[in-house]
A = this chain, B = another copy of it.
Amino acid sequence: MAISLEQWVAKICDGDRRAMAQAISAVERREPCSADLLKTLFHKGGKAYVVGITGAPGAGKSTLLEKVAAEYRQRGKRVGIIAIDPTSPFSGGAILGDRIRMQALSTDEGTYIRSMATRGQLGGLAPAARDVALIMDAAGYDVIFVETVGVGQDEVDVARLADVTVVLLVPGMGDDVQAFKAGVMEIADLFVINKADQSGVERVERELNALLSVTPQPDGWQPPVVRTTATTGEGIISLCEALEEFRAATEQSPAGLKRRKENTRLQLLELLRQSLFEKVAQEQFDHERIGEYVEEILARRRDPHSIVEEIMRASGVGTDRG
């Protein structure tokens, strides 16, 4: 790119979609310029509301997101969507009909959709999603949705980068409410029971409320439960209002500050982890050298820990120049 970093950043902040897309690609591919780009863009952002949405495949996350995004657009907000659910139509995963429906959103100038691969992502998904959200934030997107599938460490990590986390349930999940208990209950700031026109909605709401009543809420926030039927748009305005209410409640509160501090701390440590690795891996071995190490391990001539200690010594870690 023949333009300077300053020009590039200026274009992004002016809302140039092409410049933003190029920045996201550069960051995803970890091009040499990406750290400088993120450093500069960091100081341009800080205004966006990042909303994590998680739920099992088939819960209707994408349809819900489509309607919520439309509602925010009506309110004059610009909306970014980061899809890291492999089954999402946003990431091209789901059936064709969904994808066609999504095109209405993606041609709107005030909406930007970016899907991210859930595999092969160096250093994990959460850091990559955080960087993309940072770019969208600097580009002036007011609300940024991050869509994930709802079981596993990834979702917990992604929740940590969001200002608010919405967990989607559907009627007829039965034991699956139980399944959510272990990991996802604690990260939810807001529950949505989607497909509320289907039978069983009372049962899932009752089970959820029973679980909530025994789950400690250290920050004093009782997660509301909103019923929606995304296909008809029912409940979407209530959901947007609940989102805004949570934002107002946490923007200045001690609990909200505590959460932002903890998120920032975890993000800083993750960035350190990844940067150290990239630097040392780049300096200390090429494809051939690592192939030799692998041969030694497979032949049980050497163990991985001894090899890693050797690499760390060679890289100078621990020599302390500070």
A residues with a Cβ closer than 8 A to B are 35, 38-39, 42-43, 46, 56-58, 86-87, 91, 93-95, 118-119, 121, 124-125, 149, 151-156, 174-176, 178-179, 181-183, 260-261, 264-265, 267-269, 271-277, 279-281, 283-284, 290-291, 293-294, 297-298, 300, 303-309, 311-322
Q: List 25 A-B contacts (CB under 8 A).
A: A42-B300, A42-B305, A43-B303, A46-B300, A91-B182, A95-B175, A95-B178, A118-B183, A119-B183, A124-B153, A149-B152, A149-B179, A153-B154, A261-B298, A265-B294, A268-B290, A268-B304, A268-B308, A276-B317, A280-B318, A313-B321, A314-B320, A316-B321, A317-B317, A319-B321
User: Which secondary structure dominates chain A's binding surface?
Assistant: helix
Q: Known contacts A93-B182, A269-B281, A275-B309; can you find 12 more A-B pairs with CB under 8 A?
A: A35-B305, A39-B305, A57-B151, A57-B179, A58-B174, A87-B178, A118-B152, A121-B153, A268-B297, A268-B308, A276-B312, A314-B321
The answer to whether A271 touches B178 (Cβ under 8 A) is no
The answer to whether B317 touches A279 (Cβ under 8 A) is yes
B residues within 8 A CB of A57? 151, 175-176, 179
B residues within 8 A CB of A86? 151, 179, 182-183
The answer to whether B152 touches A155 (Cβ under 8 A) is yes
The answer to whether B268 touches A153 (Cβ under 8 A) is no
Given contacts A87-B178, A319-B321, A321-B316, contact A276 B280 (CB under 8 A): yes
Nearest-Cβ distance from residue A221 to partner chain B, whole angstroms? 20
Copies of this protein in the assembly total 2
The answer to whether A151 touches B153 (Cβ under 8 A) is no
The answer to whether A305 touches B273 (Cβ under 8 A) is no
Q: Which residue of B has the minimal Cβ distance to A42?
A: B303
A316–B279 alpha-carbon span in the complex (Å): 11
B residues within 8 A CB of A151? 57, 86, 149, 151-152
